[in-house]
Amino acid sequence: MVHLGPMNKQPFAASVSVIVPAMNEAANLPHVFATLPDWIDEVILVDGNSTDDTVAVARRLRPDLRVVTQTRRGKGNALIEGFAAALGDIIVMIDADGSTDGHEIRLFVEALVNGADFAKGSRYAPGGGSDDISPIRSLGNKFLTGLTNLLYGTSYSDLCYGYNAFWARHLDALELDCDGFEIETLMNVRAAQAGLVISEVPSHERSRIHGESNLHAVRDGWRVLKTIMRERSRGTAVTPRTEMALAK
């Protein structure tokens, strides 16, 4: 068991990169960046060609910020480009709308340094929750999660959540190649296909602070379903390793 130190000190040897995909999130970034622990090593903002002052606000808040300008469109593409630029041993992905709490990064990193290869956030694990998910989206998520568990031998409680972390050395095993909101599903499925040790981390999702989400439940749910079925046809043997549930 690895024991971590004070919150404001570098508590372990591994370096940590935090990837923040953002498009027109200037109003939300002060809150988001205020929740980030002092001990993380780098923050990479992947800007989706914002028309507001997202980049200027981010640089003012965090002078050591690294900025990647997205070359295509979509959350998946933004994350893939951010992952490619990351220098840390551990990569953490959070949202720029204030829905993911940076204080929880410690839980994800703890899961990794204590043996997991991939730490996936769950709003349905004991200690997790959501202030934002609608009944329709929750029902759809539960269906897609159950289907994934059936087809891939996993025991996930939450498939479609954007708070995840993993060791950078496993990036090649994930072979990420999608553009949209299905990115989380693709990561979860391919982590299982690669036989990675997967740990579910309870997380509480907040409501977006300012602005409107680009998520469309029906359109993006359909993309997730197609991803689940398409990945099944890859024919990769699925042997998920120990999954651990961490309590807050």
Angle at 134 between CA 131 and CA 138, to 5 degrees: 100
Residue 170 lies in a domain: yes
Residue 6 lies in a domain: no
Residue 98 lies in a domain: yes
Question: Predicted confidence band at 139 (pLDDT cuts at 50, 70, 90)?
Answer: confident
CATH code of 171's domain: 3.90.550.10
Residue 195 lies in a domain: yes
Residue 1 lies in a domain: no
pLDDT tens per residue, range 45-91: 999 999 999 999 999 999 999 999 999 989 999 999 999 999 999 99
* Residue 215 pLDDT > 60: no
* Residue 137 pLDDT > 80: no
Per residue, the 3-state secondary structure of the chain, as one string, reads CCCCCCCCCCCCCCCEEEEEEECCCCCCHHHHHHCCCCCCCEEEEEECCCCCCHHHHHHHHCCCCEEEECCCCCHHHHHHHHHHHCCCCEEEECCCCCCCCHHHHHHHHHHHHCCCCEEEEECCCCCCEECCCCHHHHHHHHHHHHHHHHHHCCCCCCCCCCCEEEEHHHHHHHCCCCCCCCHHHHHHHHHHHCCCCEEEEECEECCCCCCCCCCCHHHHHHHHHHHHHHHHCCCCCCCCCCEEECCC
Give the phi and the psi of residue 94 in degrees, each rounded to 5: -130, 165
- Mean pLDDT (whole number) for 133-143: 83
User: What residues make up the domain containing 125?
Assistant: 16-245
Name beta bridge partners: 201.
121
Report the amino acid identity of residue 240. P
Q: What percentage of the chain exceeds 70 in pLDDT?
A: 84
Domain count, the chain: 1
Residue 4 lies in a domain: no
